[in-house]
Amino acid sequence: MAKQVGKPEWARVAEAFEASGQTQREFALAHGVRLSTLQSWVYRLRRSAPSRAEAVRLLPVQVATSPAATESLLEVVAASGARVRFAVGTDVAYVARLVAALGR
């Protein structure tokens, strides 16, 4: 963006980035904006947004009682310290969604 852009326009650009699903670098290249400027406005947008506590979603689980099953477990430890164990072979997309939700 070669021309001078005002605050309302940058807020719209930052919102467009948030909805894009792209990395900041990809978005900046695709839209011709400086990466550092985009990063600054995304940061401002995120700080100004009222914190929204998302509702906790519970997922169905099955508890295995077999002690032999503990040998083939994968344990994920979130930054918060939460530990979750999965059987080897559990759907990777499911694990990724759960770990992402724990990270919020």
List pLDDT tens digits, range 26-80: 999 999 999 999 999 898 888 887 665 566 677 787 776 665 545 678 787 776 7
Question: What are the backbone angles phi and psi of residue 55, rounded to the nearest 5°?
Answer: -65, 140
- 0.85 surpassed by pTM: no
Token readout for 54 is 């998302």
Q: Supply the range of the domain harboring residue 44.
A: 7-48
Any domain includes 35 = yes
How many domains does one find in the chain? Answer: 2
Same domain, 11 and 44: yes
Residue owning tokens 């990270």: 103
Same domain, 42 and 71: no
With contact defined as beta carbons under 8 Å apart, do 24 and 38 qualify?
A: yes
Secondary structure of residue 1 in the 3-state scheme: coil
| H or E stretch at 26 | helix 24-31
